Each structure stands twice: as structure tokens, then as C-alpha cells.
Amino acid sequence: MIGPKAYIHLDRLIHNYRIIRQHLGGSPVMAVVKANGYGHGAVACTKALEKEGCGFFAVFTFDEALELRQAGIQSDIIIFSRMQKEFLAEAIDQNVILNMSGQNDFELLNEFYSKSGESPIFHLKIDTGMSRLGIPFEDAGRVLTTLSENPQLKCEGIYSHFATADEGELDYAEWQLEQFNLVLSLADEMGIDFKYRHFSNSGAVLNLPNSKFDIVRIGMILYGAFPSDEVPMNIDIKPVMEFRGPIVETRRIKAGTKVSYGGVWASPKDTTIGVIQTGFADGFPRPWYDGGHVIYKGKHYSIAGRVCMDQLMVDFSDDNVTVGDEVLLFGENGKDSLHMEEISQHIQTTPYVLATSIHGRTERIYLK
């Protein structure tokens, strides 16, 4: 079908997984495959990683976990979103791990236990400074006491999440880590043993090597992009997604001709304009028209005028262009590379936003 294509290089995903494990000295990895595997396709990425030996996956919603189970994924799956009463029975049926992040989750679980005699497995989330989900640090002692008084509830893990691990200034992240270590010491004193303690994300893998604990949660760097430009980029990760769009039309225009909405771009000289069938509705970053470019046959060409919903235009100058060929929008192919990091820096967003925006009509093609 004609339209944008996301070529997903599963071999690069596995390469990244191996490189990261090596960097971590072999620590186990919890692969974060929420939001459709950061736009890369959750099922295909999870299957490839599971085959490689990764045994733990994280998603955000219950439906995302069900999608993986229905696709035959056997490994552990944790759900990061808020625990809901409606999931409890199915979490047990589907063997999915829940997130305990509020005091009243105990009430939910105990009410369920009193009716069913069962408890889903869950991990306890401590808020050490993200101020999103999680038991506030100040309440950790009380919650650990409740946990030790309720051995019928199956808590297998304890974790927290960094707010600033991918920044150059790490004081706040280090303070969060101290808070987490205090909670772990308290749990130790109380004789509470967790199968898994986890904290690291991609930024922490690169910036805070002493936050590995028992398993390391990783999203962005698995997909081959650095979370920010403030982390040491000392691991050889490769972009998993190669996003391409087809040239569907070319036309010669005269110098001074305006191109696209608003007429904000006019050609400085007579030129060939190519129409690429990819637009912001497919996830192409709209602000990237200003200073943005694409790659065709090894050369960079400027985007001409505003990106439209379904199409964008490229200034091919006087070069030969074949309708039906594809241009590289971002990613890597042989010597051609245009990284999400470069685009996101230019338009002041992040690779997380770029990758997860790839959706809609974009066809994913999995390459082994």
C-alpha cells in the first residue's frame, strides 16, 4: 500500500538489548513496551526480546498487557497505571503484575481477597520525587507496616521512578536515590523481602550506574535513541525505526512560487518539488518543516513549506527524482542517517514524542 512506512529493524533492537546488558554488567532488563512499544509495535518487539531471553516487560494499560498475552507472550508483565478494581480478577487469570501506588489499594486488594481468597501479584511504587503515582516517601513506613501485617497479599517488588535521570545536573536524581535506599533499609529492618527492587530508566543506565538494583527498566535506549543530549552517549545503540515516505508526485516550479499552507516558503530559484505522502496525521513532526530535511539517495533535501496532514513537500533542486521511490524521514539505512535526537533537538521535543507519534496510517514492516 502506498503511504508512510516504519521499517522496524528487529535485529537492531536485539543488538541494543545485548549492548545494554553488556553495559549493565549483565543485570536483567525489564523492557518497557508501553504505547505500542514506543511506536515500534509492542507485540513484535516483545516477541523478539523474549526470544532473546528478556523475561520481564512493562506496559501502561491493562489492555496493553492483554494484547501481549493474547499474542502468546509468557514472560512477566507489569502494568504501570493505577490499580483498578475491575482488573483484579483478570490480573490473576492472565498472570499480570499490578502497580500498588496508593494506600487505598490495600483496601481494594483486601476486599477482593475476602471474597475470592486470592491476591494478584503487585509491586509497590514509592514516590521519591516524581510526584506522579506512588506512595509518598513520608508514608512509606506506614505502608510497609501494612504490607507486613497482610502476608496474604502478594507483593513481589518495590520500585520508584526518576524525574531527572537524563539531565546533566544529577543532584535531584541522587536525592531520589537516597530516599529510595532509606525505604529499602526500612523494609530490611522490618524483615520484608522483595523479589525485585527497581529504579533505573534509560537516563539512569547512562548517568547513575549505582541505581541498578535487581532489574533495570528500559525503554528509549532499547529503541536506539538517547533520552536527552545531557547523558553520556557511550553505548553503541542503533535506531530501530526507519521512517520513510513515498514520493507520489513531482513538479517544476518557478523561482518565487509559494509552496504549502500559509505560503510561508517560496522557492529561491526554479526547482523540482516532490510531494511525499506522509503528514502530521501519520506522526510526522509538523514543526520540523522549519529547517527540516529528508534524505534521498544519500543527499539531504529541505522540506519546502508547512507539513500538511497527509503530505509534505521537498525541494529536490535540479536533481532527478523518481516517483514511487521513498525518502528517509528519520532513522538509519546504510550510510544514510537522520536521528530522532537531531530532529527533536531542533524542534524542542524529545525522541519519546517523535517515536510514539508514529501511528495511524503508517504501515510497520518488521525486518529481522
Catalytically annotated residues: 34, 261
DSSP letter (8 states) at residue 221: G
* Residue ranges in 276-295 that form contacts with ligand PLP under rule CB under 6 A: none
Which residue stretch of 61-69, 150-158, 195-203, 288-296 sits at the interface with ligand PLP (rule: CB under 6 A)?
Answer: 195-203
Residue nearest to ligand PLP (CB): 219
Looking at the Cβ atoms of 5 and 125, the one nearer to ligand PLP is: 125
For 90-181, strand residue ranges (E) read 98-100, 121-127, 135-136, 154-159
Instruction: Confirm if 152 and 141 have CB atoms less than 8 A apart.
Output: no
Instruction: Compute the distance between CA of residue 31 and CA of residue 26 in angstroms, rounded to an integer.
Output: 14
Among 39, 129, 157, 219, binds ligand PLP (CB under 6 A): 219
Looking at the Cβ atoms of 217 and 306, the one nearer to ligand PLP is: 217
CA dihedral angle for residue 346, residue 322, residue 365, residue 305, rounded to 10 degrees: 30
Q: Is 80 in the site for ligand PLP (CB under 6 A)?
A: yes
Q: Is 45 in the site for ligand PLP (CB under 6 A)?
A: no
Among 153, 218, 241, 273, binds ligand PLP (CB under 6 A): 218
Q: How far is the CB of 1 from ligand PLP (least distance, A)?
A: 30
Instruction: Compute the distance between CA of residue 88 and CA of residue 263 in angstroms, rounded to an integer.
Output: 55
Instruction: Compute the distance between CA of residue 163 and CA of residue 180 in angstroms, rounded to an integer.
Output: 13
Q: Is 12 in the site for ligand PLP (CB under 6 A)?
A: no
Among 123, 217, 244, 306, binds ligand PLP (CB under 6 A): 217
Among 129, 227, 283, 285, binds ligand PLP (CB under 6 A): 227
Q: How far is the CB of 167 from ligand PLP (least distance, A)?
A: 12
Instruction: Confirm if 197 and 158 have CB atoms less than 8 A apart.
Output: yes
**The residue type at 284:** F
Q: Is 40 in the site for ligand PLP (CB under 6 A)?
A: no
CB neighbour list of residue 112: distance below 8 Å, 6 or more residues apart: 85, 88, 89, 118, 119, 120
Q: Is 135 in the site for ligand PLP (CB under 6 A)?
A: no
- Would you call 141 exposed, middle or buried from its count of C-beta atoms within 10 A (0-12, 13-18, 19+)? middle
Instruction: Confirm if 88 and 79 have CB atoms less than 8 A apart.
Output: no
Query: Kindly report the CA angle at 68 between 64 and 73, in degrees rounded to 5?
Result: 155
Q: Is 134 in the site for ligand PLP (CB under 6 A)?
A: no
* Residue ranges in 150-169 that form contacts with ligand PLP under rule CB under 6 A: 161
Q: How far is the CB of 218 from ligand PLP (least distance, A)?
A: 5
Looking at the Cβ atoms of 37 and 274, the one nearer to ligand PLP is: 37
Residue-wise DSSP of 13-67: HHHHHHHHHHHTTT--EEEE-HHHHHTT-HHHHHHHHHHTT--EEEESSHHHHHH
Q: How far is the CB of 81 from ligand PLP (least distance, A)?
A: 10
Q: How far is the CB of 91 from ligand PLP (least distance, A)?
A: 18
Among 164, 201, 277, 362, binds ligand PLP (CB under 6 A): 201
Q: How far is the CB of 41 from ligand PLP (least distance, A)?
A: 16
Which residues contribute to the site for ligand PLP (CB under 6 A)? 32, 80, 161, 201-203, 217-220, 227
